[in-house]
Amino acid sequence: MTETPNSKAGLQDVIATVSGICFIDGEQGVLSYRGFDIHDLAEQTSFEEVCFLLWYGRLPTRAELGNLESEFAQSRTLPENILRLMRSLPLANGMDALRTLASALAHTDPDAANNSPEANQRKAIRLTAQLATLVATYGRFANGGAPIEPDPAIGHAANFLFVLTGERPDALAARAFDVALILHADHELNASTFAARVAAATLTDMHSAVVAGIGTLKGPLHGGANADVMRLLLELGAAADPEQIETAIRERLTRKEKIPGFGHRVYRTEDPRATHLRRMSAELGARAGQPQWYDMSRRIEAIVAGEKGLNANVDFYSASTYYALGIPIDLFTPVFAVSRIAGWTAHILEQHANNRLIRPRADYTGRLYPQAFVAIDQR
Residue-wise pLDDT tens for the chain (379 aa)? 343 445 566 777 778 889 999 999 999 999 999 999 999 999 999 999 999 999 999 999 999 999 999 999 999 999 999 999 999 998 878 999 999 999 999 999 999 999 999 999 999 999 999 999 999 999 999 999 999 999 999 999 999 999 999 999 999 999 999 999 999 999 999 999 999 999 999 999 999 999 999 999 999 989 989 999 999 999 998 556 888 888 999 999 999 999 999 988 889 899 999 999 999 999 999 999 999 999 999 999 999 999 999 999 999 999 999 999 999 999 999 999 999 999 999 999 999 999 999 999 888 999 999 999 999 999 9
Nearest-CA neighbor of 343 among 43, 50, 40, 17?
50
Q: Are residues 147 and 110 in the same domain?
A: yes
Task: Examine the residue annotation and report whether 264 is marked as an active-site residue of this protein.
Answer: yes
Residue 254, domain CATH: 1.10.230.10
Q: Does the annotation count 111 as an active-site position? A: no
Same-domain pairing of 93 and 216:
yes
Domain co-membership, 57 together with 169: yes
Residues 233 and 201 in one domain: no
Instruction: Based on the fold, state whether residues 250 and 273 are members of the same structural domain.
Output: yes
pLDDT of residue 13: 72
Instruction: List residues bridging with 22 in a β-sheet.
Output: 33
Indicate if 152 and 125 belong to the same structural domain: yes
Distances (CA, A) of 66 to 69, 87, 301, 360: 5, 34, 41, 42
349 and 264 both lie in a single domain: no
CB neighbours of 128 closer than 8 A, spacing ≥ 6? Answer: 51, 72, 156, 341, 342, 345
Does 154 map to a domain? Answer: yes
Give pLDDT, residue 7.
Answer: 52
Per the omega criterion (within 30 degrees of 0), is the bond before 147 cis? no
259 within a domain of the structure (yes/no):
yes
- Residue 362 counted as domain residue: no
In a domain? residue 94 = yes
3-state secondary structure the chain: CCCCCCCCHHHCCCCCCCCCCEEEECCCCEEEECCEEHHHHHHHCCHHHHHHHHHHCCCCCHHHHHHHHHHHHHHCCCCHHHHHHHHHCCCCCHHHHHHHHHHHHHHHCCCCCCCCHHHHHHHHHHHHHHHHHHHHHHHHHHCCCCCCCCCCCCCHHHHHHHHHHCCCCCHHHHHHHHHHHHHHCCCCCCHHHHHHHHHHHCCCCHHHHHHHHHHHHCCCCCCCHHHHHHHHHHHHHCCCCHHHHHHHHHHHHHCCCCCCCECCCCCCCCCHHHHHHHHHHHHHHHHCCCCHHHHHHHHHHHHHHHHHCCCECHHHHHHHHHHHCCCCHHHHHHHHHHHHHHHHHHHHHHHHHCCCCCCCCCCCCCCCCCCCCCCHHHC
Q: Is 183 contained in some domain?
A: yes
CATH of the domain at 73: 1.10.580.10
131 and 28 together in one domain: yes
Residue 3 lies in a domain: no
**Are residue 38 and residue 110 in the same domain, yes or no?**
yes
State the DSSP code for 255: T
Residue 376 makes CB contacts below 8 A (sequence gap 6+) with: none
Do both 209 and 304 map to the same domain? no
Within-domain flag for 14: no
What's the domain count of the chain?
2
The one catalytic residue in 184, 187, 207, 264 is 264
CA-CA distance, 276 to 316, in Å (whole number)? 12
Q: pTM for the full model? A: 0.94
Amino acid at 269: T
In DSSP terms, 358 is beta-bridged to: none
Among residues 187, 315, 347, 352, which one is catalytic? 315
**Angle ∠(335,147,331) on CA atoms, nearest 5:** 20
Q: Is residue 124 part of a domain?
A: yes
pLDDT of residue 62: 98
- H or E segment and range at residue 346: helix 332-353
Query: Domain of 299?
Result: 225-324
Q: Is the domain of 182 the same as that of 67?
A: yes
Whether residue 196 is found in the same domain as residue 272? no
